[in-house]
Amino acid sequence: MSKTIPLSFLDLAPVPQGKTIAEGIAQTVDTAQQAEKFGLNRYWMAEHHNMPGIASAATSVLLAHIGSQTKRIRIGAGGVMLPNHAPLVIAEQFGTLQALYGDRVDLGLGRAPGTDGATFQALRRQMKDAERFPQDVQELMYFLGNDTDGSAVQAFPGAKSNIPIWILGSSLFGATLAAHFGLPYVFASHFAPQMLEQAITAYREQFKPSAYLDKPYVMLAANLLLADDDATAQYHFTSAQQSFVRLRRGETGQMPKPTHDMDSIWSQAEKMMVDNALSVSFIGSVETVKPKLAAFLAQYEPDELIVTANIYDQAARLRSLELTSELNLFTLQ
């Protein structure tokens, strides 16, 4: 029997095919408000660039808007791709969010650029910047902490905010870094599940208590799409599957409409790749998903689960959020 844990939501601010970015953002606000209504714990957004189907590139700006349109739910980045930014800039941005929304704000940090090489260069960064990730995390923690009095450079806003920092990852690198710093850890099992067990085991075994956290805290990510029946859920999930195929082909485009015929879109090799990458997915009716999700939670014993439903149909996404309470596996506030 799995324990009851908090449930959170990860959003990429999808821009559905045929919609404008403004319309995609409006749907994102609606999603955040519904996540709050149905009692979810956090609403996080992820930084991506050069992707016409994703509107969360300016993550902190969009989070400011989400914060203004919600009241209780925690808001944060899941995550900011720190190699793209100077730590001081992120400290100032999230310090501003904290000044606006108090202790509702989280800051998750990733080491990947969240884009292609040409866009990374356009961001005025170099690939070697990712090698500085541990030092950049420390620098950011310093700017957000209590010890910058007298420093020649301080974050205003940001200093003394002590915004909760999380390390995101899909390998042993992030796991061991989070353990070393005594920070909470999020594993990206929703699209890169291969090292799930090794990473969270390493994190838990190597964790060092810190001023931020006295014991390990693991949040796992999963794809979750609930519907009134399995066929409806599987149909809408084909939008996410198509997006993944396009990504692997190097194609761009808005969030595609669902299809009843994925076999006409992907090859067998692509199907195997997508099935493997999205293997931590719980798609179907509440009756179908509940035992599978309970078994997953019992196996890995996360402290929190963050789910995403990156699909075309907004009504289907909102219905999925509504149905989460019927799973009875989560602490809903």
> Bigger pLDDT: 77 or 124?
77
Determine the pLDDT at residue 127: 61
Determine the pLDDT at residue 131: 83
pLDDT digits (tens, 9 = 90+) for 70-120: 999 999 999 999 999 999 999 999 999 999 999 999 999 999 765 667 777
Both tokens assigned to 125: 């960064």
Model confidence at 1, in pLDDT bands (50, 70, 90)? very low
The predicted model gives 231-243 an average pLDDT of: 97
Alpha-carbon gap, residue 149 to 145, rounded angstroms: 10
Q: What is the domain extent for residue 131?
A: 5-331
Indicate the number of domains in the chain: 1
Alpha-carbon gap, residue 244 to 254, rounded angstroms: 12
> Bigger pLDDT: 123 or 330?
330
3-state helix, strand, coil in the chain (%, to 5): 45, 15, 35
pLDDT digits (tens, 9 = 90+) for 196-230: 999 999 999 999 999 999 999 999 999 999 999 99
Nearest to 174 by CA among 219, 115, 213: 219
Number of neighbours of residue 49 by Cβ within 10 angstroms: 18
Number of continuous H segments (helices) and E segments (strands) in the chain: 11, 10
Q: Give percent of the chain above pLDDT 70.
A: 95
User: What single-letter amino acid sits at 177?
Assistant: L
The predicted model gives 146-159 an average pLDDT of: 95
CATH of the domain at 106: 3.20.20.30
Q: What are phi and psi of 237, to 5 degrees?
A: -70, -15
Q: Give percent of the chain above pLDDT 90.
A: 88
Contact 200, 187 (CB under 8 A): yes
Both tokens assigned to 1: 């029997």
Q: Cβ neighbours of residue 251 under 8 Å, at least 6 residues apart?
A: none
Lowest mean pLDDT among 120-124, 178-182, 271-275, 322-326: 120-124
